[in-house]
Amino acid sequence: MSDREDQLVGEFPLMPKQERAQIKRDLLVKSGHELFISKGFEHTTAKEIAAHAGVATGTFYRYFSDKRQLLMSLLEDQIEMLMPPEPKWGVSNPESMLASLLELHDERLKKMGMQRLLPELLAKDKEFAQVLAAAKQKIFTRILSGLKRAYDNDLTWNDLDLNTVTWSVMTLAEHAPEKMKQCGNQTDYREVAKVICRLIFPPDVMKKINANEKVTEEE
């Protein structure tokens, strides 16, 4: 269990030490994950989670006080995975680097299957919304710090507010997977990365970065 200060849940009724008990707890977490995604949080019960895991309902309550605690334990170590990726500036070919990060982020979200569940949680669970907001603030701070370093190295536009740029980068990265719903075509993450990089780097800087990459490849 995580020892982070922004821990999503308190102490569990029982944290199993024996391997057999840990297997049962893991089965419950996996069962809850599958049912939450397929049915939604509100329409899933502890009894159904236990039955789907092949254990008695009483066993569920040995490990979790309620279904929300199971969900929070499931999400606890995955909060960072829900956040938009943190770009690295000043590297060779930042467009390719960022496009790869965005594609990996999209693949992680699809694998987690949380797209349906998150809106429901954010609307009904203030504590979870606060934890997610705190995690976003940490990512915002890290991206801003990276942009400030790039600014100090004369890589960025010098007439833009970096806080606004950071917010724009996060917004584009976070909502890039939704482009297909709104535009009707598959998201091209290289195009998203191109927009973000043009927001940050003047044309002459991009030419210099790409030229340096070409020289490195030839060497």
| Distant-in-sequence, close-in-space partners of 23: CB < 8 Å, separation ≥ 6 | none
- Can you list the domains of the chain with their CATH numbers? 19-74 (1.10.10.60), 79-218 (1.10.357)
Q: How confident is the model at residue 138 (pLDDT cuts 50, 70, 90)?
A: very high
| Distant-in-sequence, close-in-space partners of 49: CB < 8 Å, separation ≥ 6 | 28, 31, 32, 35, 60, 67, 70
pLDDT for residue 180: 67
Q: Which two tokens stand for residue 121?
A: 């949680």
pLDDT for residue 213: 56
Compare 2 and 193 and report the one with higher pLDDT.
193
Calculate the alpha carbon distances from 165 to 86, 135, 155 in Å: 13, 19, 14
Q: What is the DSSP letter of 54?
A: T
User: C-alpha angle with apex 197: 95 to 87, nearest 5 degrees?
Assistant: 70
**pLDDT tens across 20-75, in order?**
888 899 999 999 999 998 888 889 999 999 999 999 999 999 999 999 889 888 87
pLDDT for residue 217: 41
Collapsed DSSP state (helix, strand, coil) of residue 214: helix
pLDDT for residue 159: 94
Q: Which two tokens stand for residue 14?
A: 């029982």
Q: Which residue has the tokens 């977490």?
A: 29
**pLDDT tens across 65-105, in order?**
999 889 888 877 677 788 888 887 867 788 888 999 999 98
Average pLDDT, the chain: 83
Is the Cβ–Cβ distance between 20 and 58 less than 8 Å? Answer: no
Residue among 113, 111, 105 nearest 35 (CA): 113
pLDDT for residue 102: 92
Q: Distance between alpha carbon 173 and the CA centroid of its chain, in Å?
A: 10
Distance CA 167, CA 143 (A): 9
- The yes-or-no verdict on residue 149 having pLDDT over 90 is yes
